[in-house]
Amino acid sequence: MSMKTISRQNEAKGLGKEALKHAISAADFYLKATEKGASGIEALRLRHKVEYLLELGETIKANDKQATASSRPPELISTRVLPMPERTILYRSSKLHGLTFPPWTANSEARIFSGTCANAEPGRYIDPTPFSLSAEQQAIFAGWKRPSELIPGVDESNPEWMMIAENEIDLAQDLATDCSVVASLCAAAPHLASKKGSLLSSLIHPFDYKAMRPKVVENGPYLFRLNFNGCWRAVVVDDRLPVTSNDRTLYVVDRRNPKLLWPALVEKAYLKIRGGYDFPGSNSGTDLHVLTGWIPEQIFLKRIKKAYDEGNAILTLGTGNIPPEEEKALGLVREHDYAVLDLHSDENSRSLLIKNPWVDSLVWTGVGSSATLKTHTVGSTPEHATNQFRMAFEDVLQHFDSLYVNWNPNLFQFRQDHHFKWDMPDATEELVFTKNPQYRVLSPSGSPIWVLLNRHWQDGELEILRERKAERDRHNASLAHVSKQLGFMSLSIFTASPPGTRIPLPESHRCLHQGPYVDSPNTLLRYDPIPNTPQTLVVAQGELPLPTYSFTLSFFSTSPLTISKALDPLPYSETITSAWTRRNSGGSAAHPSYFINPQYSITLPQATPLSLLLSTDVKDLPVHIALIYSSSPTKRITSISGRDILVSSPEYQRGSTFCQTPASQPLDAGTYTVILSTFEPGQLGKFVLRVSTNVPDVVITPVMSSQAGKLRTVFSQPAVFKDGEERLRARIGIARLTRLSVVARATASGTSSSSGGGGGGGGLRMKLELGAGPGRRVLGPQYLYHNNPCGQVVRVLGLSPAPGTHRELPRSSRSKTCGFS
């Protein structure tokens, strides 16, 4: 491991004994350097470093001791030695509004309290700060009062009750213009008022660590430790609060705990550093950062502007499918990319300076446009128009489709590139992840990870691009509507079980971060990992047209990562490829034809967990898996109850579905049958069944239907019982020695049909007769049918034709009559 890595890891620890050890070691190093004869400015610089490190060590010891004694939440302290110019910046930043807020040190509390009390009247400290008020506030302002004067019913013998919330905290803002501060206090209340690890313990002093609440200082100062202008700083206020001449309030109140004092004191300390009670506004992320030190993040414009100003981001814009009439009216080109040359933001507006890269083209002419065609001049000769225009950010959001940001990779310390080839799955496995590249990503910390997926260019894509452009030009169509597409790709992070193993399909495990599907050759996923717990990164695609692609995955991080290809949680897998056809698509268990669905026998040689993954080539086809214990690998399941199903998938998911046995309850060795069904009978489609186990030599075979291998003849018209009819006949011609089976099923209306159908119907008797008239005879037994979902079957073995009967049939044939009653 490099010294740079070790240094960053040690800096990241920054707590307790480890941080103190580094501070002492660094102080000793600089002290020895001073003793070796450094002189002048260098000697002064070294002495300042020693003083700073000794002060830092005392702060670490004090914080560690206090946290240990009081169960204060741990705090990350930077152990980086600040050079003198940076320390000067911090001290210069201490001055605001004519006041001084010094950086916090280990002895700040003792120094501030002793100095403040020494300069105050006994028990009568008054903060001289001139808190400003707005005109509306000033009109009703009636002075300052202490809690004992302000809150009725004060128990002077037990003033601590003013720091206790007897009910759930319910803070409210009235006349003060500090909604972001009050919102921050509301959001942080569970952390501030917690009995264990309260953030108040590091925010307000003095603090009763035994009772885990602020102490009451009668008529005295309160000291706050607030994080602003680069470091933690000391802020002192008294306990007086502003009152009004009516029932309005200028400070935050708790509607359920009207005597609670500390929220108003926190608010006062914050407003002191912001200028007064006529607070002009902020945002709660900033306010919470001051109050708690927790890291804020403001998404999008502010974040991008900062990176842009620091030279760490390049911005471009892309329009969508703008109608032709709007192109001319707005001065924008549809499906076109623009460069961003500058970002501007102040209290009144936000705008972008944009350039159309075309030499001579339209520029933004919408409402509020400041577009001008600036001309570069080389010597005295005009060179070309720059096509620049400034556009309000609100208009950018309305008229542009995409904002593209390219970030400087030097924002990170570590990078790993992984290259892979991917053969595109066929249509039956597009909706599942069985063929998708998946990676196990392990980070020792929760610091952000950025993952860039780059699809390598190839000639086939170039041809598609050319065809798209030609088709668009021919039909004046949008690129989004031409037939040739480049497809889409995406990145996602999942929690798997076991951690870091492969994911079968998107719905099977919890997705931590889902990236968008983009038709660009690049897509970026940013996420915060779970420290020391592997997550699974999945590369997904949709409609990529070429059979094979090459990709590069680049991982950027501030901590070293351990990355490898994800493995299947169950190492042994078998796949079955088949289809639902008109003969075996029986629908759900609500239909009597359910048992004609494809059935497969699974024989396990020993106990093992088992998972079943079913996917189809029809994306909106609802499908289901049911696993049932079976007594024989060749016997079809013909009836089930709910308790017969050992495991099943969720109810009829579209395109794909998944189920597995609990890891703690593996299946015993033996034979099982899986039934694969669609929701409605007659729904057709190809499917792939993937069976995964923990053991090899699992035998999977199809369970054949009783009709398998037989020639199927369907009566052209269904047999229908009309009103008053109790018997129907149908003629069957036999041309040669055969084994005959006759199946009749009742339709939903209660009639019978030899061509199959749905369920329903009452009792039905069927028999096979030879001949007609008084001489006819019954062949085989009669069958009685009461809603048998598989229908009624008549089997006659060794049935042979007799010559001379029914000459309209081929020679050596005879007619049988099938009767229904």
Question: Are 609 and 475 found together in one domain?
Answer: no
In-domain check, residue 720: no
Q: What distance in Å separates the CA atoms of residue 579 and residue 597, rounded to the nearest whole number?
A: 10
Tell me whether residue 336 is one of the annotated catalytic residues.
yes
In-domain check, residue 369: yes
Domain that holds residue 543: 412-565
Spatial CA neighbour of 516 closest among 407, 394, 402: 402
Count of structural domains, the chain: 6
For residue 567, give the 3-state DSSP assignment: coil
Question: Catalytic pick from 107, 167, 179, 419?
Answer: 179
Q: Taking the mean position of all CA atoms in its chain, how far away is CA 742?
A: 56
- Any idea which residue has 């229904």 for tokens? 820
pLDDT at site 5: 33
Rounded-to-10 torsion of CA 627, 633, 639, 645: -20
Percent of the chain with pLDDT over 90: 23
Spatial CA neighbour of 72 closest among 192, 197, 190: 197
Q: What distance in Å separates the CA atoms of residue 296 and residue 289, rounded to the nearest whole number?
A: 6
| Cα torsion angle, 581, 587, 589, 594, sign | negative
In-domain check, residue 311: yes
What is the 3 state secondary structure string of 645-688? EEEECCCCEECEEEEECCCCCCECCEEEEEEEEECCECCCEEEE
What's at 714, amino acid-wise? V
Question: Catalytic pick from 336, 399, 509, 591?
Answer: 336
Question: Are 336 and 384 found together in one domain?
Answer: yes
pLDDT at site 757: 36
Compute CA distances 675 → 354, 464, 595, 596, 758, whole Å.
60, 42, 8, 9, 19
Q: What distance in Å separates the CA atoms of residue 776 and residue 576, rounded to the nearest whole number?
A: 49
The CATH number assigned to the domain holding 394 equals 3.90.70.10
In-domain check, residue 708: no
pLDDT at site 301: 39
Question: Are 181 and 286 found together in one domain?
Answer: yes
Q: Taking the mean position of all CA atoms in its chain, how far away is CA 450?
A: 15
Strand ranges of the sheet holding 449-455, from the earlier edge strand across to the other edge: 414-423, 548-557, 449-455, 522-527
For residue 136, give the 3-state DSSP assignment: helix
Question: Are 119 and 259 found together in one domain?
Answer: yes
- Residue stretches of the chain with pLDDT short of 50: 1-15, 67-70, 117-120, 122, 296-302, 372-384, 482-483, 748-761, 786-789, 804-814
What's at 579, amino acid-wise? A
For residue 154, give the 3-state DSSP assignment: coil
Domain boundary among 528, 548, 565: 565
Within 8 A by CB and 6+ apart from 91, the residues are: 102, 103
pLDDT at site 16: 54
Spatial CA neighbour of 676 closest among 695, 700, 697, 693: 700
Domain boundary among 372, 390, 407: 407
The CB-side HSE value for 192 (13 A sphere, CA atoms) comes to: 23
Helix (H) or strand (E) run with residue 9 in it: helix 3-13
pTM exceeds 0.75, yes or no:
no
Q: What distance in Å separates the CA atoms of residue 467 and residue 459, rounded to the nearest whole number?
A: 13
Q: What six digits make up the tokens of 362?
A: 């339209």
**Bridge-based pairing state of the strands 670-678 and 562-565:** unpaired
In-domain check, residue 723: no
Question: Are 666 and 578 found together in one domain?
Answer: yes
pLDDT digits (tens, 9 = 90+) for 22-32: 667 776 777 77
Buried b (16+ CB within 10 A) or exposed e, 593-605: bbbbbbbbbbebe
Question: Are 518 and 622 found together in one domain?
Answer: no
Question: Are 550 and 608 found together in one domain?
Answer: no
Domain boundary among 508, 543, 565: 565
Rounded-to-10 torsion of CA 382, 388, 390, 393: -170
Question: Are 72 and 134 found together in one domain?
Answer: no
pLDDT at site 759: 40
pLDDT at site 136: 85
Q: What six digits make up the tokens of 551?
A: 């990709």
The CATH number assigned to the domain holding 624 equals 2.60.120.380
For 43-50, the CB contacts below 8 A with 24+ separation are 45/83, 45/84, 48/84, 48/87, 49/81, 49/84
Question: Are 468 and 495 found together in one domain?
Answer: yes
Question: Are 460 and 373 found together in one domain?
Answer: no
| Cα torsion angle, 132, 137, 139, 140, sign | negative
Buried b (16+ CB within 10 A) or exposed e, 413-428: eeeeebeeebebbeeb
Spatial CA neighbour of 806 closest among 736, 733, 737: 733
What's at 720, amino acid-wise? V
Q: What distance in Å separates the CA atoms of residue 315 and residue 320, rounded to the nearest whole number?
A: 17
**Is the separation of the CB atoms in 207 and 215 below 8 Å?**
yes
Question: Are 340 and 231 found together in one domain?
Answer: no
In-domain check, residue 449: yes
**Bridge-based pairing state of the strands 572-580 and 511-514:** unpaired
In-domain check, residue 714: no
Q: What distance in Å separates the CA atoms of residue 404 and residue 308, rounded to the nearest whole number?
A: 12
Helix (H) or strand (E) run with residue 601 in it: strand 599-604
Residue 708 sits at φ, ψ, to 5 deg, of -65, 135
pLDDT digits (tens, 9 = 90+) for 383-400: 445 567 888 888 888 888
Q: What distance in Å separates the CA atoms of residue 539 and residue 525, rounded to the nearest whole number?
A: 11
In-domain check, residue 709: no
Question: Catalytic pick from 63, 356, 387, 436?
Answer: 356
Q: What distance in Å separates the CA atoms of residue 624 and residue 622, rounded to the nearest whole number?
A: 7
Neighbours of 500 (CB within 10 A): 23
**Is the separation of the CB atoms in 691 and 612 below 8 Å?**
yes
pLDDT at site 478: 55
Question: Are 100 and 88 found together in one domain?
Answer: no
Neighbours of 516 (CB within 10 A): 11
Tell me whether residue 659 is one of the annotated catalytic residues.
no
